[in-house]
Amino acid sequence: MTSITQTLPPITNRARSALLSGMRDFYDTVGKFLPTKPIQPKSQYSNIGPKPPKDLTIIERPLWEQIPHEYDYFHPFFSDAPQFIGSYFARKYAALYQENGSKAANTFLRTCGLTRCTEVQQQYTIENAGKSLIAQTFYKQLATLPTYDKIDVDELGAKIAGYMQNLIIKFLETDEFKLSNNDHELTIYRFALEQLKPLRITAPYFADYKKDEITAQQIVIALAKLSADKWWQNKLKRLWAFQREHLAIAAGQVQKSASPYASRTCVGEWKEQKRKNREWLKNQCIENTDTGEQFDLVFQVDKSNANPAIRRCELMIRMRGFEDIADEFGYTGAFITLTAPSKYHAVHAKGGFIKNWNAGTPRDTQRYLCNVWAKIRAKLNREGIKIFGFRVAEPHHDGTPHWHILVFMRPEDKDQVHDIMYKYALAEDWDEPGARDNRIKFEDIEKEKGSATGYIAKYISKNIDGYQLDDEIDDETGQNLKDMAKNVTAWASRWGIRQFQQIGGAPVTVWRELRRLGSQKVESKEIDPVLAAADAGDWAAYTQLQGGVTVRRKDLRVRVSYEETQNQFEEDVKKVKGVFSPIVGVASFICTRLIKWAIVPKNRRDCAPRSSVNNCTEVKKSPEYDQRKIIINELKKHQINYNSYQLNHLLAGRDLKFNDKLLIKWVKDKLVIIDLRKKWVGIPMDVEFNF
């Protein structure tokens, strides 16, 4: 048969446009006759294979699609695993199954960190809710807390706080509360304890309750905290952070071959929080509440001990000061490394899980080291042996902390100190392999090899900012030391571990408060030389003037003075106000914080630019106004409360007497403060004020 081929004429643009317009009108007209309900797509499992189990998790779904016949084997491993942990192992398991078969994949699943994660999860499981309505109501949310993000944790904290507040209100209407005899506060506090018990969250003032010393006011404050969103959010975020990092350690995500010291997630969260904090600081000012003068908050923070460089320099100055004292008095030094038993470690140094790991956290290990050190210090005190120096806490590659201690002692005490430290360091699991060689290392400081400060300088820098460690290699990880400083700081921040601690000597808080005064000279003969040493940055002289490296707190020449204020819960809080000398008494008080500052947001549109030049016509002040300002400043400087009537009384030339302790006089444009407890005999008093 012969086929006839015809060629259709081309369609013009006008015809094409008309055709498209007609098609559009057709669909617009017919569209109203289409079904109003959406057509449900058929499930991919409707006709292919068995239906998925009801308890199939997001982690397990790809495995079910690939190897459904292995579900009964892999389900116990992944059913309770958080997604941020289990997803990695699921991908690894699937890849091994494809490449090496079921035997290799299932062996991996038995030996990987998922079984350890289950053991860790059990530590945070709410096993017995009992009478806790909070545990019963929020059981599911609390059981899956590690899978939440920070916003979800904040929302959960707000919900629990509101629920707790309603529980307290309802309990006040119960017969149990109404029939309690004179113990209404204790009854409701015990009810609150029942709610918190399964959650492993400690109630406010629980230590005082255990000692039977809790007061009605403390119970009121505790109930206010338990009803506050912020209190619950802080507690839950802390628990959330601990659980996530604890699971990462169990899964092997914290080790030399993965992420040393802290997990990648932990380091990333720490960096992001640092960035947010920095952005917040840049958008805030500190404002003088009296004058309204403002300064950028970020610049003030950079000039404080919050700056890592300043913190590192201060530590080095203090360490060098101790070394100078040791050289002057002929003390000998020792560098000690204190490590926990193997059961506190999660991963071997060369890789591989430690079988006898006790599933503890770095905080558990830190608590163990603190207990060992407390026993060592107590034994040394009983033997009359005094030591001084510094302690640095830093992590092994798997996040387990260990201590580096640099101490000085009398040469004749060195052997005894060595024996005492070995005894208590090996008290637990002394017979395990390698305990005698690795549990504690005691190295004498040899001046020929370098200064004592040089021994610990690297560890101080590594645990702060990695200064001058660009070309140094970390012994723990084999990586660059400066790069590892971020991981170490993130580790300390996550677990709340104190990295540096002074042993013996005078307190650094007094040193910092004195340095706030600068180079000014004070009238107190007891305080002025200590102030001069602190201002010069001479830690050795400051320590000696305070009473030496073995001085007890009650014998300090200069101490910190506090004032009591109240927080939002009307709870008494102590804040540093200044310094004083116990030798002289209250009259020696010097206020180091004269100005009250408030943090306010930057808003250049509402705040007029502040100039150092006053362009206004100056108003002449009276001599009485000048005297009043001088008296006010002096009273503030010595932390003496006053009112306007008392101020006018002083200006009139009369004397003020406070609680038979202080006598204040205004003599020849000078404020004279006399301590009556020093048996001073003066002129008769005109007015006596008691407050």
Reply yes or no on whether the pLDDT at 647 is more than 60.
yes
What distances in angstroms separate CA 403 from CA 93, 339, 390, 399, 429, one per listed residue? 38, 7, 10, 13, 18
Residue whose entry in the numeric block shows the structure tokens 């040089």 = 454
Q: Say how far apart CA 656 and CA 647 lie, in whole Å.
A: 10
What distances in angstroms separate CA 70 from CA 77, 103, 105, 314, one per listed residue? 12, 11, 11, 60
Of 189, 261, 344, 459, which is the active-site residue? 459
Count of CB atoms within 10 A of residue 96's CB? 18
For the chain, give the percent of residues with pLDDT over 70: 84
**Sequence-ordered list of residues with C-beta below 8 angstroms from that of 541, at least 6 positions apart, any chain:** 533
Reply yes or no on whether the pLDDT at 684 is more than 60.
no
Beta strands at 656-658 and 687-689: parallel, antiparallel or unpaired:
parallel
Check the CA dihedral 67-70-76-77 and report its sign. Answer: negative
Q: Of 462, 514, 517, which is closest to residue 487 (Cα–Cα)?
A: 462
DSSP secondary structure, 281-340, as one string: HHTEEEEETTT--EEEHHHHHHTSTTSHHHHHHHHHHHHHHHHHHHHHHT-EEEEEEE--
**Sequence-ordered list of residues with C-beta below 8 angstroms from that of 15, at least 6 positions apart, any chain:** none
Q: Of 243, 491, 477, which is closest to residue 351 (Cα–Cα)?
A: 477
Q: Say how far apart CA 462 and CA 28 lie, in whole Å.
A: 72
For the chain, give the percent of residues with pLDDT over 90: 45
**Sequence-ordered list of residues with C-beta below 8 angstroms from that of 56, at least 6 positions apart, any chain:** 64
Confidence of residue 545 (pLDDT cuts 50, 70, 90): very high
Reply yes or no on whether the pLDDT at 81 is more than 50.
yes
CA angle 172, 197, 178 (to 5 degrees): 15
Global pTM reads 0.78
337 conformational bin, left if phi > 0, alpha if psi -120 to 50, beta if neither: beta
For 172-222, the pLDDT digits (tens) are 888 777 777 667 788 889 999 999 989 889 999 999 999 999 998 899 899
Across 355-362, average pLDDT: 93
Q: Say whether 459 is catalytic.
A: yes
Q: Say how far apart CA 542 and CA 534 lie, in whole Å.
A: 6
- Provide the 8-state DSSP code for 496: T
Q: Say how far apart CA 355 and CA 343 lie, in whole Å.
A: 8
Confidence of residue 623 (pLDDT cuts 50, 70, 90): low
Confidence of residue 639 (pLDDT cuts 50, 70, 90): low
Reply yes or no on whether the pLDDT at 569 is more than 80.
yes
H or E stretch including 277? helix 264-282
Q: Report pLDDT for 586.
A: 84
Mean per-residue pLDDT of the chain: 84
Of 261, 344, 455, 542, which is the active-site residue? 455
Q: Report pLDDT for 633.
A: 72
Quick check: 364 and 399 in contact, CB under 8 A?
no
CA angle 284, 286, 292 (to 5 degrees): 120
